[in-house]
Amino acid sequence: MRVLITGGAGFIGSHLCERLLGLGHEVTCMDNLLTGKLANIEHLFGDRFTFVKQDVTEYVHVSGNLDAILHFASPASPVDYLKLPIQTLKVGSLGTHKALGLARAKGAIFLLASTSEVYGDPLIHPQPESYWGNVNPVGPRGVYDEAKRFAEAMVMAYHRFHGLPVRIARIFNTYGPRMRIDDGRVVPAFLSQALSGEPLTVFGDGSQTRSFCYVDDLVDGILQLMSVDHTGPVNLGNDCEMTVLQFGETIRRLTGARSPIVFKPLPVDDPRVRQPDIRLAREILEWSPKIALEEGIRRTLEYFRGQLAAQAAARGAAISRD
């Protein structure tokens, strides 16, 4: 297959590029590098891999045929999308429209990376795909949540009006190597704090829950979703739920860090609970997450240790230059 991945230099996008290349496909990665990094894809350059630095909200052109488009471009951490509210709204709306237009022109199957944020601060728990959500459209998180909700609506319109084959993956909290250490999400925040001996910053009283999925499991789920004929949204995530405080304690145990826990204000509209109902994915994709939190965190820790060592070396080199 020839596949285009928008946001291919980001955390999940780069893992998808790598996996598809490994399976023998030809991959074009499109990214404006706003939150993605060339370092995530540098090792992939070769015959079957092309990188295009482009903003998907502008007119997009890819020469030759395309069999599939995976639309992953978007700031995805709360810190990033609060810093980039307009770009986040644009990539979810205009970017999705452009990517869909390209899919239609090429006769390519289209997969949207949607999110558990479409459920907002959910009143139904765990969240099944049939739940319409509880989103504050005018709150600060609305820029991401509504952009993704609009994107889902746009994808369904292209399917209904143009007959485009589409898939919608509602992705729940995913972690692993290549998350930016400073992206503000709880996994890189706690891991880098624990590795540097700094206090773990728990927002609110830490009783809010999340369910963390290792990136390789998610990539398996995405590829399975591409291979079945199912149009509506499908939750992809790990249903192993815990409080943020429990997560902090797990990180302290796994790293052996003595970092104390400090409490910081809870961000506005931070969902109080989140756990995917993955019965649909189990049934139609015959998929379920395999990698336990401890194993996933061990692999991610290795990556962050390397990143912190590289940062320290770069600082050392800068000081000796001065």
**Nearer to ligand UDP by C-beta: 36 or 271?**
271
Among 188, 207, 311, 308, residue whose Cα is nearest residue 251: 188
Q: Which two tokens stand for residue 237?
A: 């995530």
**Nearer to ligand UDP by C-beta: 46 or 265?**
265
> x/- site string to ligand UDP, residues 114 to 153, per CB under 6 A?
----------------------------------------
Binders of ligand UDP among 219-278, rule CB under 6 A? 244, 266-267, 270
CA dist., res. 251 & res. 237, Å (int):
20
| 210 is a contact residue toward ligand UDP (CB under 6 A) | yes
Q: Is 130 exposed, middle or buried (0-12, 13-18, 19+ CB in 10 A)?
A: exposed
Among 54, 136, 201, 231, binds ligand UDP (CB under 6 A): 201
Four-point Cα dihedral 290, 172, 29, 142, nearest 10: 180
For 243, the enclosing helix (H) or strand (E) is strand 241-243
| 293 is a contact residue toward ligand UDP (CB under 6 A) | no
Q: How far is the CB of 270 from ligand UDP (least distance, A)?
A: 5
Q: Which two tokens stand for residue 190?
A: 């706690």
For 6, the enclosing helix (H) or strand (E) is strand 2-6
What value does the CA radius of gyration of the chain take, rounded to a whole number of Å? 19
Quick check: 178 and 15 in contact, CB under 8 A? yes
- Give catalytic status of residue 81 as yes or no: no
For 189, the enclosing helix (H) or strand (E) is helix 186-195
| 71 is a contact residue toward ligand UDP (CB under 6 A) | no
Q: How many residues bind ligand UDP (CB under 6 A)?
A: 16
Q: How far is the CB of 274 from ligand UDP (least distance, A)?
A: 6
Q: How far is the CB of 144 from ligand UDP (least distance, A)?
A: 8
248: phi > 0 → left, psi -120 to 50 → alpha, else beta; which? alpha
Binders of ligand UDP among 162-181, rule CB under 6 A? 173
| 78 is a contact residue toward ligand UDP (CB under 6 A) | yes
Residues that bind ligand UDP (CB under 6 A): 77-78, 173, 184-186, 189, 201-203, 208, 210, 244, 266-267, 270
| Residues identified as active-site | 144
